[in-house]
A and B are shown apart, each in its own frame.
Chain A
Amino acid sequence: MRPRETDDEPTHRPIIGAVLVAGVAVVLAVAMVDLPREGAPLPSVARYAMDVAIPKWGITEPVNEIVYGTRGFDTFGETFLLLGAVVCVITLTRRREPRQGFIGEQEAGAREQARHDAGSGGNETARQAEKAEEPGEDPTDRPVGPATPDHEPLGRPAPEAAQAMTVVVRVASRVASPILAVAGIYLVAWGYSPGGGFPAGAVMAGVILLVYAAFGYRRIARAVQPSIFETLELLGALIIIGCETLGLVLKGSFSANWIPLAEPQTIRSGGILQLFSGGEFIEVATGLVLVIFAILGMEHDWARDRQ
């Protein structure tokens, strides 16, 4: 193993940096002292947001009303920035592609090889020998740990491929994850109290991470697949686009409310706010899970040694 370079932490011109930072600090301090303090009156835009919350949107939570209603266009852009970041991370972390020669060369070569193989025909032993030479996708040659580390005898080195954590962690996460999942859904469903799509989505991503950390990837492999999560992510984006555009079609302005208002302080209060919030919930939960598993599954891509 190579010595870690990070432990002695090389720095870069600390004196010049300190002088620059000191200058910025003075400028910032002068600016901060002049900012409006806690005695200043509320700006009129804030008063407006407080005033329209109940009559126009039927929701008792002005912050949610601003995020998903009055300034919905801003949140619309922010959601697609998040989507763009997720796409960016997935693109950066994907596997290396077989692109050694010109694009398409490999496929054409494979086609020609297939025609050649068909022509030579019948040579079963040669084909078997070829198959054996190919780098093995054989799953049996990998070291596989026991299903849980509880059956591991004491005093042995850790299993090569741990599948789950010990019984304490597993029981704790069995108890905690449903409670956390319900809390996350509560945050998004009860839109008239503090909460909303973003914290709820982050809590759901945390639940999935908790289950992953406690039980290992194999237990969640059927549910947490890029194909499923990418579809869900785009579905959330589609909900948000549809919800905002229908306002343009039905009411004549983008992000206008087109769902009839329900009684305040009920689960359906807030019109399109709830729909937008739900879309944001799906978007954030799947986006965070996709990002974390993409970085976690990033392939070894070390540059070759120059020699």
Chain B
Amino acid sequence: MGPVVLKAPFPRRAVYLTVVRNVLHHLFFGAALSWIRNLAGTAPALISMTLLLILAGVVGLGGFALHLLADRESADAAVLHVYLSDDASSTDVDALRLKLSADSRVRSVSYTSKADALKKAQNRPGLGDLASGAGSNPFPASLDVKLKRVEDVSGVADSVSKEKAIDPVQPTSYDPGAYGRLQKALTYLAVGGGAFLAIFGLVAVLVTSNSIQSAIHARREEISIMGLVGAPNWMIRGPFLFEGALTGGLAGLIAGLLVSIGAGVGATVGGSNRLGALVPGFTVSTGVAAGLILLLVGILLGAAASLIGLRRHLMAPEG
């Protein structure tokens, strides 16, 4: 008779598998089941988190749109439009273009014809109907001068003001106070946005942890029993952390979907990218990204609020 081969699991591996199975069972599956069972108790936390996240999403998208606008304004501030007279000769225009190109403060010079200026105006919200409705083309041709530094705009504008090819009524786009106003607006925006985010974050954590705390309070008996029979704190904390993350995740998912859909509809209503026209860079994918961020924030917020809510129930014995 040949040797008998005993087939048995390698003991250490069997223990590891048991530990993994128990962790999955008690920390995740058990927590998920318990979360479903206690959904009614979790509802207030879920609703308040969803509302907070929707608000955060709307405010966040608004802030992002303002940031894009500020970026565009900032970039525009370093571009000087030199408007050309309708009867300027091509020789005068070429001479002016050469003069500007030779200026060390200038990065580049490009020409926009009257027809191109009209086309650009037709794409701008608010100006489109006005431009199309006008009998003749009211927009002048221009030389668009990109400068190396925004501070040089006034010097370059002065240097071309006496040129023959220039429109005598409105020679350039230079507005002496515009740059200062823009800087001031950007500072206010950053400070205001930062303060709002700090207050909002604090309120969100407080409201969410209070709501989740009520749900945890309703299950204090279970927590107390686990502690009294000798379950380690991480074993007690783990399922609640996961349940908090589930609550936050669901709130984030609902808020994310609503905000994404809202932003998507805003961006594509009427078949044209209206939001994109108002705020360059704002697209449907911006809304989707906002939705995903809200989902992640919801998960983190729910888990953090659960941890804070549990602290009271898991205090080490006094002394």
A and B bind: no
B residues contacting A by CB (< 8 A) are: none
